[in-house]
Chains A and B, each alone.
Chain A
């Protein structure tokens, strides 16, 4: 079990929560909530150790386009980077519906 914490600057308020995914093999759960300050905080919990560089790369890319002030919690059961990107995009879509 590995815990990874990442922070990113944010510009925009987000009004709605979003929950996507399941902690099933090769999948992950994303909880996205509005944050009060101008910072986005990501907490990752994964059952697969040793991939913190890959996680940072995926989240860096995500936050190069997304500027919402949010708390994101990720509960991961061995999802691929592509799957992580899709779940994050889905969470953003739900929160902005």
Chain B
């Protein structure tokens, strides 16, 4: 943590991480323009959790809001990390996909509508395994359809981060923003340790986890577009900037040759240090900035 980060602004910060999903979504819209779709009082909850001894939540941990960002129509989908780790079930997955599909339909009708997904999730909800997997696949297909018309922006603020199939969905976004507190990765540290042993990944080593999955590293290696402080006005500024930017000329997930060449050039016979990786891949940072 640099001295700059511990300056006077640290105290005056309005933490974004401390907000719940509904407050996060509301904060991103132009004041007074947002309304919630399929809210808790509509009582569309998971039918699968109660029979497995888990109390359902009335919005299934997924908040969908429509309104205006920087004067333009937008939908915000926020996952609630505190409910079942923000996991994707049948209902929360369908809410996300339907919201993206409606935004896509609006674009086709000539109403430019972008989407912002606030990702706090460990991935598929294990209690709804196959339905959650299907939901992830549907969401990814819908994101691909929408991103041709309007930007699909993913923000992972923390502290849950973005893991599992949802991390792949994040990879499809037009723009990705993270905080230093957030993590982004396919397999979570504990999963890697469980499958490949302590030598492969020590999931109790927090410095190591953040050095690999953390926002700062993801930004430094060009895998995300913005690194933002945990400050609501700054988060709002970044989201507004990406909404205004529109569809990028090339999406990151289409740069197959670039990422394949990075992997091919890497000597996998030895252990790489996260800092070395930054030095190696930072040459592309200038290109990333131009996107």
Instruction: Give A contacts to B, CB under 8 Å.
Output: 1, 17, 19, 22-24, 27, 29, 31, 33, 45-47, 73, 75-77
Contacts and interface: CB of A to CB of B under 8 A. Distances in A.
A47 B57 contact: no
Contacts of B83: 22-24
Contacts of B84: 23
Contact of A19 (B40, B54, B55, B56): B40
Identify the 4 closest CB pairs spanning chains A and B, nearest first.
Answer: A24-B82, A23-B57, A22-B82, A47-B55
Contacts, number: 42
A45 B41 contact: no
24 contacts: A1-B53, A1-B55, A19-B39, A22-B80, A22-B83, A23-B55, A23-B57, A23-B83, A24-B83, A29-B40, A29-B57, A31-B40, A31-B41, A31-B58, A33-B41, A45-B55, A46-B55, A47-B53, A47-B54, A73-B58, A75-B55, A75-B57, A75-B58, A76-B55
Q: Is the interface of B mostly helix, strand, loop or mixed?
A: loop
B289 interface: no
In this complex, the interface size class of chain B, counting residues with CB under 8 Å from chain A, is 10 to 19
A47 B54 CA distance: 6
A45 B55 CA distance: 7
B50 interface: yes
Interface of B: 20, 39-41, 50, 53-58, 80, 82-84
A22 B57 contact: yes
Contacts of B55: 1, 23, 45-47, 75-77
Contacts of A23: 55-57, 83-84
B41 A22 contact: no
B220 to A, nearest CB: 32
A82 to B, nearest CB: 18
A29 B54 contact: no
Contacts of B57: 22-23, 29, 75
A59 to B, nearest CB: 17
B121 to A, nearest CB: 14
Nearest to B57: A23
Nearest to A49: B53
A27 B84 CA distance: 12
Given A23-B56, A23-B84, A77-B55, 14 more contacts: A17-B41, A19-B40, A19-B41, A23-B55, A23-B57, A23-B83, A24-B83, A29-B40, A29-B58, A33-B41, A45-B50, A45-B56, A46-B55, A75-B55
A24 B57 CA distance: 9
Nearest to A73: B58
Contacts of B50: 1, 45
Contacts of B56: 23, 45, 75
